[in-house]
Chains A and B, each alone.
Chain A
Amino acid sequence: MSDVVLVFAYGLVTAVATGLGALPFLFVRTVSGRTVGRMNAVASGLMLGASFGLLAEGTRFGGWQTFVGGFVGILFILATNRFLHEHHFRPGVTGGGDGLRRMVLIVTVMTVHSFAEGVAIGASFGGGMALATFITIAIAVHNIPEGVAISAVLRSNGVSVARCAGWSIVSSLPQPLMAVPAFLFVGAFAPALPYGIGFAAGAMVFMVLLEVLPEAYGKGSAREVGAITSLSMIAMILFQKVVAG
């Protein structure tokens, strides 16, 4: 197997792992308003925890670059959200209107943030097979809760579990796609990495504050939503620290 195929295959493994995040929703039968609030709270915590991980990684490379990237990420979500509003985004899918806009936003945000992870996978091959395997496994495992976050938002809008898994995998497809060019042109990609990571973090934090948290507060008490969000965030931070070693 040529190196390029191998890198692509590794990236694909991490993408498929994201789909596993839909599995817990096989066991959540009814989706009441209160459950929707809790699911959004879990998604918020997982995404904020993931952003903390990204910020920690980005600022290791450069604080200013991460900051600039984060700022552009906020602008990107503002623009995307405005675009979706202006085009009255409501084809005949369950949820419609705001629910659909929220779904499109979360899939977009997660897809965008996968670019940075794809670059990380590709670049890691420069450090040898052992490192690449380790990083790939780490990113694959770390993708599962991200799949949970996506599925929580999609499932609470009435999307089937199979489709939740499908969209979760789609959101991670940039990983195999970006891993190959990053592997081939490591030198060119390295300086852009903190900007990309900052961008992903900014987009994710802003998306949570703009859509996911307000939706959660609207469906449950501040005390319950607050505690679930904080605990999910702590769990995600712990998870990343343990996986990253």
Chain B
Amino acid sequence: MVTPLTVLLYASVAALASVPGGLVRWSADIRRNRWIGWAHALAAGGMLGAAFVLTVVPGVAPLAAAAGGVLGVAFIVLTHSFTGMETLDLSRPDRADPTAAARLVVTHSLHASTEGVAIGVAMAVDLSLGVFMVLAIAVHNIPEAALLGGATRRGSEGGVRPMGLALLSNLGQPVFAVAVWILISAAPEFLPWALGFAVGALLNLVMTELLPAAYREVGSTSIGVVASVALALIVLLGNVLP
């Protein structure tokens, strides 16, 4: 039996996965390096896989889901205009702009909230899909936290702050996971909308943030291989595990 507490615990695991990501940046400076491109590509493939797994949930009204998807895309577009994120890039922070780090954290928090919606929806469909979604998002949080930690760190500051920031900006995941789960449990007719919203937002995050950032670092061949293999692995796990 899934309760709000179960959802909270699982979604917190996903958010906690950002801690080792913060450590990566702390111990070795790998900025402006092909590894950053591959980390983005890995995260992109993983999120595409998570979106795919949601699209094959049976018995979801396609029109409502597609409408939710359009809302999800619109949400990310609005988020970017709101924070002026268009000129910001996790891996290429503008050090002259003191608000850049703050805007990054705000943007990343909104970004993490949409992942929380995905976890909440998956938990509402069934527990095994929910756990699977938690794993997919947790894995994706690791490289993401590493990138965020690197972008917000200045000078020789210690690693505690980037780690704390990464964790803080991922708090939206458990909060939104629980909120969406409660909403769907109370009113199941929202399921297709929330599911579509999560898919649209995940897709647009991949297309607007992760992939362009990945292509800026490394050539499209290795980005293509990393992202498509990551997608294939998530699709396979989504098919074999639950």
A interface residue numbers (CB < 8 A to B): 48, 52, 55-56, 59, 63-64, 66-67, 70-71, 74, 78, 81, 202, 205-206, 209-211, 213-214, 217, 221-223, 225-227, 229-231, 233-235, 237-238, 241-242
In the complex, the answer to whether B204 meets A71 with C-beta atoms within 8 Å is no
In the complex, the answer to whether A238 meets B229 with C-beta atoms within 8 Å is no
Looking at chain B, what size class is its interface with the partner chain? 35 or more
Query: Is the C-beta of B221 less than 8 angstroms from some C-beta in chain A?
Result: yes
Query: Is the C-beta of B31 less than 8 angstroms from some C-beta in chain A?
Result: no
A55 to B204, CA, bound (A): 20
In the complex, the answer to whether A202 meets B69 with C-beta atoms within 8 Å is no
Query: Is the C-beta of B220 less than 8 angstroms from some C-beta in chain A?
Result: yes
In the complex, the answer to whether B221 meets A231 with C-beta atoms within 8 Å is no
In the complex, the answer to whether A213 meets B211 with C-beta atoms within 8 Å is yes
In the complex, the answer to whether B66 meets A238 with C-beta atoms within 8 Å is yes
A235 to B220, CA, bound (A): 26
Q: 7 closest Cβ contacts across the A-B interface?
A: A226-B208, A63-B239, A226-B207, A209-B224, A222-B212, A238-B66, A234-B69
Whole-angstrom distance between the Cβ of A62 and the nearest chain B Cβ? 8
A214 to B222, CA, bound (A): 13
B interface residue numbers (CB < 8 A to A): 48, 52, 55-56, 62-63, 65-66, 69-70, 73, 76-77, 80, 86, 196, 199-200, 203-204, 207-209, 211-212, 215, 220-221, 223-225, 227-229, 231-233, 235-236, 238-240
Instruction: Write 25 A-B pairs (CB below 8 A) sorted by A numbering.
Output: A55-B235, A56-B55, A59-B56, A66-B239, A70-B228, A70-B235, A74-B225, A202-B232, A209-B223, A210-B221, A210-B224, A214-B220, A217-B211, A217-B212, A223-B86, A227-B76, A227-B77, A230-B200, A234-B66, A234-B70, A234-B73, A234-B200, A238-B63, A238-B69, A241-B62
A202 to B208, CA, bound (A): 22
A137 to B232, CA, bound (A): 29
In the complex, the answer to whether B66 meets A55 with C-beta atoms within 8 Å is no
A209 to B219, CA, bound (A): 11
A241 to B207, CA, bound (A): 22
Knowing that A63-B239, A74-B229, A209-B220 are A-B contacts, what are 4 other residue pairs whose CB atoms are under 8 Å apart, sorted by A's residue number? A56-B56, A210-B221, A214-B215, A226-B212
Residues of B near A206 (CB, < 8 A) are: 224-225, 228
A240 to B232, CA, bound (A): 20
Whole-angstrom distance between the Cβ of A144 and the nearest chain B Cβ? 18
Other-chain residue from B55, B66, B207 in contact with A235 (beta carbon distance below 8 A): B66
Residues of A near B48 (CB, < 8 A) are: 48
A104 to B225, CA, bound (A): 20
A95 to B38, CA, bound (A): 30
Residues of A near B225 (CB, < 8 A) are: 74, 78, 206
Residues of A near B65 (CB, < 8 A) are: 238
Whole-angstrom distance between the Cβ of A211 and the nearest chain B Cβ? 7
Residues of B near A70 (CB, < 8 A) are: 228, 232, 235
Residues of A near B235 (CB, < 8 A) are: 55, 59, 63, 66-67, 70
A70 to B232, CA, bound (A): 7
Whole-angstrom distance between the Cβ of A15 and the nearest chain B Cβ? 27
In the complex, the answer to whether A55 meets B70 with C-beta atoms within 8 Å is no
Residues of A near B207 (CB, < 8 A) are: 213, 222, 225-227, 229-230
Whole-angstrom distance between the Cβ of A136 and the nearest chain B Cβ? 22
In the complex, the answer to whether B55 meets A227 with C-beta atoms within 8 Å is no
Residues of A near B55 (CB, < 8 A) are: 52, 56, 237
In the complex, the answer to whether A242 meets B62 with C-beta atoms within 8 Å is yes
A217 to B210, CA, bound (A): 12
